[in-house]
Amino acid sequence: RRLKKPKTILCIAAILVFAAAAFLGFWLYRHEKAQNDDLRELQSRQSAVLAAEEELSARLTLLEIKSDYAEASYKYFPLGNSITVHAPNEVWWNEVGMAASDADHDYVHLVAAYISASHGKTACHPYYFYAWETAEDRSSKLSLLDPFLDPGLDLVTIQLGENAENLSTFEQDFTELIRYVLAKAPGARVLVIDDFWPDEERSRMKQNAAEKTGAEFISLKDIQGSIDAVAGTGAVVFDPAGNPHTVENADVAAHPGDRGMQAIADRIIE
């Protein structure tokens, strides 16, 4: 009997420890679950706020564009990739065509300035459409253009293709893109701009798409691959505040510099 008592105490202690551990584990589980629930709810609220902000921003952008279109005597929509416009990032400093020295020297602003001189107030809202170039289903991206497309558009330039790697449906997709633009802006003159970096297959497909839809194809064959047309490393460009920056990134340097941008603008103007 004397030997049983310590065993009984040990059993009771073990049960108490187990119970305490179970209670603690249950409490930790409930506490963690509550925290996770709170975190999910917070993330859900943040997502809702971000979605609302994006929707509001899109509506404000649409209102701004529509207002600008209404006041303009000429409406020009430049659609393209980074050669047309690119937002600032760690290797680029101005929201203009990449590698142009400033906002006055990318091809979009050069063309818009020419149009303004001859037609008066010009509405010009360039759009970066890299998402279409790289999408598996390019047709799914076409509705993104709706805020910029208007029945009163006079000119649309399409400078796209350099980032497209999957060419299995490229000609068909480019044809669909032009037809989508024309359906929304039936009075617009549509100019398809050749690839800046030489790619005979893509150029041929873009030219075929233009011919199928009644658009006009602008060849860049005489400047493709020209060392004089690219910015090159060491080029000096300026941010919106006028601060100078030196191009060091090879991808940025391969884009058209001021001479290349002027050459593209000249061909559009011609």
pLDDT for res 39: 64
C-alpha closest to that of 161 among 130, 184, 137, 187: 130
pLDDT for res 43: 60
pLDDT for res 150: 96
User: What's the pLDDT tens digit per position in 191-201?
Assistant: 999 999 999 99
pLDDT for res 18: 78
Instruction: For residues 46 and 215, give the distance between their C-alpha atoms in angstroms, rounded to a whole number.
Output: 44
Instruction: For residues 211 and 201, give the distance between their C-alpha atoms in angstroms, rounded to a whole number.
Output: 15
Low-confidence ranges of the chain (pLDDT < 50): 1, 3, 53, 56
Is the alpha carbon torsion for 167, 172, 173, 177 positive or negative? positive
pLDDT for res 4: 55
pTM for the predicted model, two decimal places = 0.79
pLDDT for res 206: 98
C-alpha closest to that of 82 among 148, 162, 138: 162
157 has which bridge partners? 78, 191
pLDDT for res 26: 76
pLDDT for res 217: 98
For residue 112, the number of C-alpha atoms closer than 13 Å in the C-beta half-sphere is 20
pLDDT for res 48: 55
Write the CB contacts of 135 (distance below 8 Å, at least 6 apart in sequence): 141
The token duo for 106 is 């990318």
The token duo for 32 is 């963690």
pLDDT for res 12: 78
